[in-house]
Amino acid sequence: MKKRLADSLSVLIFLGSIMAMLYSLFYMQQLSVAFGTVVGIYATGKAYNVTLGATDALLVSGLSGMDLPLKLSDILFAVSLIMFAIAVLQLFQGKRRIFSLVSLGLAPLFVALAYILETSFSFAEPYPYFLFGVSGAALAGLLNVYMLASQRTARGKGLARSINLDPLTPYSNMLKLSDQLIARLDGSIRILDMHFDSKGLQNLAVLLKGKPANCKSVSILTKRERLDSRLVRECRDYADEMHNGGTEFMLRVMDDEDARMQHERLLLDEKHAYKIPPLNIINRKSEHVIRINYKEANRRFSYVWGRGTKLDNLQ
């Protein structure tokens, strides 16, 4: 799911949770007024030994039954408060799936409690306020359903966890990598490949023909030994070509110490990380392209990138 859409849905869920909480507070207020009125009638009649009229006697007779709506209203408020707290977290947290699941379970519980209270223990004109609160809870619930469904669809169409490459099918390997991996990357693409050379650039250019529409940049890290005049010239030409298409292409040379310490080749976007074969033979090697821990890969790439040397700064 696109971040902008997720943010918009989170705002609407937040508003729905506020509606639900306001209704629960209104109901508790009405219940308190009714309970206080009945207690007052009972206490006054008892203190002055007054014979209550039929209406007052009926109200007092229901005093013992007030315990249930009091408890149910407490639960209703607690549910609405949790929904509100989750909605606040959804506004500021990136991982929203668990919040959506919890909120989705609470929405029908709120509606059920509100219906029981309004139909069995109504103390005011119920329907305008009842519909206000239930509409808010229903809005939050339905939007969470949509958010979860969108996330499931995105995962279904998203990056594979593993891609098998067969050296006997180099052409098909390129198609598989382009369709199942490169074209589904999101935002900035970053590659750490110590063996990146002119052939690696050619393979990358082929793969990026199916690049995602929102690809903002492509950043490459390689080691100094791979950099020759041909690669420098081709990278500058390719950077100009990519720039004309609205994508920034950057290449940096790894610090020598980092190059010695680095043993895996990494491919990252803004959410996922993969371990890949060398790009210059990526379609001709029997290997698995596998997803790895993003946090660690992102930390490693950022560290090496920060210590690398820009192509234009090389002597």
Global pTM reads 0.53
Q: What is the pLDDT of residues 158-207, one digit of tens each?
A: 556 678 888 889 999 888 888 888 888 888 999 999 999 999 999 999 98
Structure tokens at 287: 């290997």
Q: What is the pLDDT of residues 49-89, one digit of tens each?
A: 655 554 444 444 544 556 777 788 889 889 989 888 888 88
Q: What is the pLDDT of residues 250-285, one digit of tens each?
A: 999 999 999 888 889 999 998 889 999 999 998 887
Q: What is the DSSP string of 185-232?
A: --SEEEEE-TT--HHHHHHHHHHGGG--TT--EEEEEE-GGG--HHHH
One-letter amino acid at 308 equals: G
* Domains observed in the chain: 3-157 (no CATH), 162-313 (3.30.870.10)
